[in-house]
Amino acid sequence: MIDNLLTWGVFLRCIVPMLVATIFFTAFVYFSLERRRFSSSYNYFAVFFATFIFYLCGPAFNILPIEYAKPYIQLGRTILFFWIGLPSLIIALFRFSNVILPKPVMCFSYSFGLVFSLCFLVLTELQHPKINVLEDFGVIIPPIGWLKLTHIYQLQSITFMVLLIIPCCYLLLNTAKSQNKGYIYSAISLGFIAIFGSMAEHWVTYYSGTSLCGLIWLGTMLKGMQIENYLIETKSNLANPLQITTCQNKQVLSSPFNSNETNFSRQVNSSLCKSKQQQENNNEYIDSKMKQAHINNCVVENALLYIENNYYKDINIDTVALSVGVSRSYLVKQFKLATDETINNKIVEVRIEQAKKVLLKKSVTETAYEVGFNNSNYFATVFKKRTNYTPKQFKRTFSS
């Protein structure tokens, strides 16, 4: 009985997707623990994980003795995955890659997924011999003579192409070279495998092929963990030289000349007591040196460069930290030490400077959106505060 049940086909169609679902459940937990690192993309990743895990568990439900529930489970997992899961994955990847995704495109993704889901519901009801969900609710759809089950799979392939392959290819072309693109490659592999399996109606390939997507995702996740650990170690190593330098300075002051230790210490004490002002100056000098030693100039310079090149995007402290490859708290501390200002203040400063140029050619609303503000009224308030001119006054004064 068991030998007949657990065949290679069952293993590849049911067990392998369950293993892949375990990988993505692990990813779900990891992303939840590191949600600050993924910032605004986390919620979309979470929706994708939930729907995709449910979708992968679908074949396993087919071998369970729950005949009445099977049609509802199969339709439900497909509708949720295509309507909500795939669009959420694309939005998450765009936000994680710091590439702007216009709101109309976001709406189109969910709308397209909804249209496919409704078509899938109706067409499956007409052609699939084991699914009669609408009929259970008294909804009778007249038959369509030319419709075949193959058309449903072709429509599914088109949906994968529109919602996954094309957006991911665009992302690859517009993502910075330094950005980790593993999650994008994982999504592309999922799309191509699903299209091949659907067109060939080879469901072993369709479901077992998700293992490639899972392995790429897992490898990318592990690489991200290694980078985080490296940054933590680097941060701790940056602090150690200061401690060593301090200890060395203490040794120089305490015992530079073993033979005249007592006389030397008296000279030092007398010289330190000569002037309180001199002592304060020395302390300030030491503090400034220690402050300079703490600053990681490479991190600050890369952060400034990223802000200057991406001020027009929806960026914040989290996206800047992600682009530089350090934690949020570390970047905030380094930036404050080096520039004596906050990152948000710097972003606004760069946007206002760019707005001064754009205002001479475009309207206030166009300028606001072009330099990265999502609200023209807020832009006008900030511009007035920074320049003592309203945008319209600035435009009238300097355009002429």
Domain harbouring 304, CATH code:
1.10.10.60
244 located within any domain: no
In order of 248, 259, 359, the CA distances from 311 in angstroms are: 44, 62, 16
285 located within any domain: no
Cβ proximity of 219 and 186 under 8 Å? no
In order of 97, 103, 168, 171, 315, the CA distances from 174 in angstroms are: 9, 18, 10, 5, 16
370 located within any domain: yes
User: Pick from 169, 198, 222: which residue ends a domain?
Assistant: 222
In order of 86, 135, 281, the CA distances from 158 in angstroms are: 13, 27, 72
Mean pLDDT, to the nearest integer, of 166-173?
Answer: 92
- Residues 96, 203, single domain; the answer is yes
277 located within any domain: no
State whether residue 34 is helix, strand or coil: coil
At 350, the amino acid letter reads V
Cβ proximity of 10 and 59 under 8 Å? no
User: Pick from 181, 198, 222: which residue ends a domain?
Assistant: 222
Q: Looking at per-residue confidence, does 118 or 259 come out higher?
A: 118
Q: What is the DSSP secondary structure assignment for residue 175, as one 8-state letter?
A: S
- Residues 207, 325, single domain; the answer is no
- Residues 303, 177, single domain; the answer is no
- Residues 209, 317, single domain; the answer is no
Q: CB neighbours (10 Å) of residue 333?
A: 17
**Average pLDDT across the chain, whole number:** 80
User: Pick from 206, 222, 238: which residue ends a domain?
Assistant: 222
267 located within any domain: no
Domain with 9 in it: 2-222
- Residues 189, 324, single domain; the answer is no
Q: What is the pLDDT of residues 38-63, one digit of tens each?
A: 777 889 999 999 999 999 998 888 77
- The confidence score (pLDDT) of residue 177 equals 65
- The yes-or-no verdict on residue 256 having pLDDT over 90 is no
Q: What is the pLDDT of residues 294-317, one digit of tens each?
A: 566 778 888 888 898 888 888 888
- Residues 66, 150, single domain; the answer is yes
279 located within any domain: no
Q: What is the pLDDT of residues 312-351, one digit of tens each?
A: 888 888 888 888 888 888 888 888 888 888 999 999 999 9
Q: Calculate Rg over the CA atoms of the chain.
A: 30
- Residues 8, 112, single domain; the answer is yes
Tell me how far apart the alpha carbons of residues 26 and 12 are, in angstroms, rounded to a whole number: 21
- Residues 11, 116, single domain; the answer is yes
Instruction: Let me know the angle formed at the C-alpha of 227 by 225 and 232, rounded to the nearest 5 degrees.
Output: 95
- Give the chain's end-to-end CA distance (angstroms, integer): 89
Tell me how far apart the alpha carbons of residues 220 and 119 are, in angstroms, rounded to a whole number: 35
253 located within any domain: no
Report the share of the chain in percent with pLDDT over 90. 32
- Residues 310, 393, single domain; the answer is yes
- Output the DSSP codes for 41-84: GHHHHHHHHHHHHHHHHHHHHHTSS-TTTHHHHHHHHHHHIIII
Q: Looking at per-residue confidence, does 122 or 137 come out higher?
A: 122
- Residues 196, 326, single domain; the answer is no
258 located within any domain: no
pLDDT band at 248 (very low <50, low <70, confident <90, very high): very low
The structural domain count of the chain equals 2
Tell me how far apart the alpha carbons of residues 308 and 354 are, in angstroms, rounded to a whole number: 10
- The yes-or-no verdict on residue 270 having pLDDT over 60 is no
Token reading at 122: 């109706």
- Residues 13, 96, single domain; the answer is yes
Mean pLDDT, to the nearest integer, of 119-137?
Answer: 75
- Residues 45, 176, single domain; the answer is yes
Mean pLDDT, to the nearest integer, of 237-253?
Answer: 45
Instruction: Let me know the angle formed at the C-alpha of 178 by 177 and 181, rounded to the nearest 5 degrees.
Output: 75
Considering only 76-85, 168-177, 236-245, 363-372, which range has the smallest mean pLDDT? 236-245
Tell me how far apart the alpha carbons of residues 383 and 322 are, in angstroms, rounded to a whole number: 28
Tell me how far apart the alpha carbons of residues 256 and 286 are, in angstroms, rounded to a whole number: 20
- The yes-or-no verdict on residue 239 having pLDDT over 50 is no
